[in-house]
Amino acid sequence: MPTLREQYEADLRLPQIRATLDTIAWAEGGRSYGTLYGGGTFSDFSKHPNRRITAGGYTSTAAGRYQFLYSTYVDHSRTLGITDFSPHSQDLLALREADVKGGLPYFRRGDFVGGLKALGANGRCAWAALPYAGCNQKMRGINETVNYYNSKLNGNNIVPGQTQNQISPGMIAVGFLVFILLID
């Protein structure tokens, strides 16, 4: 049985998970792994920067590609045995947050909207900028968010709603045509 961290490592190889992480970062304004709340940057990835920054009427310690609060970083890094704030660690921490808030099972199976709804259910408020977040902050629109997700998913050569192991009707038609040509 894989450990929690090993499962998250495996999840990072799934195109629907990569597209989900890209979409979370886009929605949250995490232009890079070194983004601070309010738009500043940091370059020391040995730890979460834990800087209290006031911008847009809010004060936050959010940092990184997924805008983790320092308290979230502390909780999830302990669970996963993470000791830094490297890009790879941030990816694992984002999966932990999605898992704790109930969205990860949906994201794994490619149900992006179901995952968004789970993240915001019952006041969970994982990422404030995502639709259905319920954090009482400005959210991205559902259509633009789903369109962004689909663009990232298509960039990974996966058709929305199709897993890696599914065969599309077009693939069947091409295979049938090749078969006809071979037996002719």
Q: What does the pLDDT look like over 32-44, one tens digit per residue?
A: 999 999 999 999 9
Out of 6, 9, 28, 144, pick the active-site residue.
Answer: 28
User: The tokens of 47 are what?
Assistant: 């730890």
Looking at residue 183, what is its pLDDT? 46
Summarize pLDDT for 81-135 with one digit per residue, the tens.
Answer: 999 999 999 999 999 999 999 999 999 999 999 999 999 887 888 999 999 998 8
The enclosing H or E element of 100 equals helix 87-100
Summarize pLDDT for 140-181 with one digit per residue, the tens.
Answer: 999 999 999 999 999 854 444 444 444 344 444 444 443 334
Does 15 have pLDDT greater than 60? yes
Residue 28 appears among annotated catalytic residues: yes
Number of domains composing the chain: 1
Phi-psi region of 38 (alpha: psi -120 to 50; beta: other; left: phi over 0): left
Looking at residue 177, what is its pLDDT? 40
CB-based contacts of 178: which residues, under 8 Å, 6+ apart?
none
pTM above 0.75, yes or no: yes
Contact 32, 65 (CB under 8 A): yes
CB-based contacts of 149: which residues, under 8 Å, 6+ apart?
19, 20, 22, 23, 112
Looking at residue 50, what is its pLDDT? 98
**In this structure, what CATH number is given to the domain that contains residue 122?**
1.10.530.10
Residue 131 structural domain? 4-183
